[in-house]
Amino acid sequence: MKVISTEKSQILAARIAGALNTSIVDVKFSRFPDGEMYLAAGELDDETIIVGSITDSDALVQLLLLIDACEGSKNHLVLPYMGYARQDKRFRNGEPISARAIARLFGKGVENCITVNIHEPEVLKYFDVPTTNLSLAKDMGDYIMKMGFSNPLILAPDDGALAFAQDVASVGGWDCDHLEKTRLSGVEVKMAPKKLCAASRSVVIVDDIISTGGTIATATNMLYQQGATEVYAACVHGVLIGGAYVHLKASGIREVFCSDTIERGCSRLSAADRIAATLRN
């Protein structure tokens, strides 16, 4: 068995290979003069773990090329971050169900698929192969535990993130609450005012994704107004578009951290051990 990855998931892939005590396939990536992507994989095995987060359209195409390059091997697909999963239904006439369109691309060439904290687990039904969705909630809880807070409040920015926040909070038996968010557009959110038990406390806001940072910046303002001592922000997938990281730091967040499902300078926890454990079973 060997591990192979797209360009954007190479660190996580190497960690998965390390955890499985197996080797990683060397891949050469380049482009044709017209901009189309090209890749050439080194020596393959008869069983391959293909790792690639869909962080953008290029990453998606590269992943499809990689699956094709691994033809003839028994392939297990790992999608640490599945982009397009947030368009999980047709909200208005004429829209695609983007998550379904993407999932259908992986019906051939792989035996099964592992995702990590997929935005909406319902979309797993769109895959034509068996899927397993892993959660890094416990890992995030362990990391927060090591930060040494006394009596922190774990806060979900909306009710969709509440179950995840509760799982994080259960690691330390910490208090957990959630806010009511309404999304006005892709970049704008509104939060209903809510009295939280945040005064004189450290608060860790946890979510599956930080994209523009708008959700968490709005929540942070509310928390400081209510007397929170310090606010931290943690997510599984650090999409962090535009100046999101700086925007969050400028809004007074002490530290922003994420996992390595998207490899970032602020990736503090790894999905590798959990993915490796699933692949071993």
Q: How many residues bind ligand R5P (CB under 6 A)?
A: 14
**Residue 56: how many other CB atoms lie within 10 Å:** 12
Comparing CB distances to ligand R5P, the nearer of 24 and 232 is: 232
Interactions with ligand R5P, residue window 70-129 (CB under 6 A):
none
Q: Is 258 in the site for ligand R5P (CB under 6 A)?
A: no
Nearest to 77, CA basis, from 130, 18, 122:
130
Q: Is 211 in the site for ligand R5P (CB under 6 A)?
A: yes
Question: Number of C-alpha atoms within 13 angstroms, CB side, residue 13?
Answer: 24
Kindly give, in sequence order, each residue whose CB lies less than 8 Å from that of residue 132, ignoring residues fewer than 6 positions away: 112, 113, 114, 115, 278
181 among known catalytic residues:
yes
Name the minimum Å distance from CB 268 to ligand R5P.
18
Comparing CB distances to ligand R5P, the nearer of 2 and 119 is: 119
Q: Is 207 in the site for ligand R5P (CB under 6 A)?
A: yes
Name the minimum Å distance from CB 133 to ligand R5P.
15
x/- contact string, 141-160, with ligand R5P (CB under 6 A)? ----------------xx-x
Phi and psi at 19, nearest 5°, equal -65, -30
So which residues are the catalytic ones?
Answer: 181
- Catalog residues that contact ligand R5P under the rule CB under 6 A: 157-158, 160-161, 189, 207-215
